[in-house]
Amino acid sequence: VGQVVLPGDLLLLPAHYDEDAEGERLRLSAGTAPQGRLLCGPGLRRSGAGLLVTKCGLLRHRPGGGGAYWVDSQQKRYVPVKGDHVIGIVTAKAGDVFRLDVGGSEPASLSYLAFEGATKRNRPNVQVGDLIYGQFVVANKDMEPEMVCIDSSGKSSGMGIIGQDGFLFKVSLGLIRKLLAPKCEIIQELSQLYPFELVLGMNGRIWVKAKTVQQTLIIVNILEACEYMTAEQRKQALAKLSGN
């Protein structure tokens, strides 16, 4: 864990899986089939007795339960992943299906019934150019990506059409993962500066809205620059803005 892995590497668990054991759980050598439950995240794919690496990056691990493994990579183009929450732009209406640009290699489809309370008579008011926040239910290399705006219980849970007022911009996928991390210091510090609304998409898109256009643009500039700033530089910039 923490080492650089390349596409094609096969990761196998040691013969005896011990939750209390210290050190790396996965190794790049021959071994027996994995024992116990583990979650396979982005950059990894199950292959026979192990996990096959599909992206170049650093191998990461999150303890708890059976443990989760994924590859932390700095890719530029977004690849849809099942369960990811993204921001899409409606590009066309095709019968009962909307086509959305999610920044991937092909557009995603969204049924008009995939909204909370939507029926054949009560259709959602979705127009070309609207921003949609939803999650993928189908996303693999052999099928067209499909999105929904409801969870497993049929509730919207914050998903749906994003308001017209606001500013949409794009950042790197690495920054999005950092902002979505629990107890993100960047979001906490910004919330003390101005009250604002924020929607983060795993496809690198961010929608933000503050009370005024000036405050909105200040937050946008800080979010775009924070990827290349240290924590001390960020705090100095925020302190200067709060003083004004």
pLDDT digits (tens, 9 = 90+) for 140-198: 888 899 999 998 888 888 899 998 789 999 999 888 988 988 888 899 888 888 899 99
Q: Which residue(s) pair with 147 in the sheet?
A: 110, 136
Q: Residue 82 — φ and ψ, nearest 5°?
A: -60, 130
Q: Which residue, 72, 98, 116, sits at the end of a domain?
A: 72
Whether residues 186 and 220 fall in one domain: yes
Residue 20: C-alpha distances to residues 16, 23, 61, 186 (Å): 11, 10, 14, 33
Whether residues 103 and 157 fall in one domain: yes
Residue 213: pLDDT band with limits 50, 70, 90 = very high
pLDDT value, residue 27: 54
Whether residues 146 and 182 fall in one domain: no
Classify residue 52 as exposed, middle or buried by CB count within 10 Å of its CB (0-12, 13-18, 19+).
middle
pTM to 2 decimal places:
0.79
Q: Mapping DSSP to helix (H, G, I), strand (E, B) and coil, where does residue 143 land?
A: strand
Instruction: List Cβ<8 Å contacts ≥24 apart for 238-243.
Output: 238/189, 238/190, 238/192, 238/193, 241/193, 242/192, 242/193
Largest CA distance in the chain: 62
Distance CA 218, CA 241 (A): 9
Domain containing 68 equals 4-72
CATH of the domain at 145: 2.40.50.140
Percent of the chain having pLDDT more than 90? 36
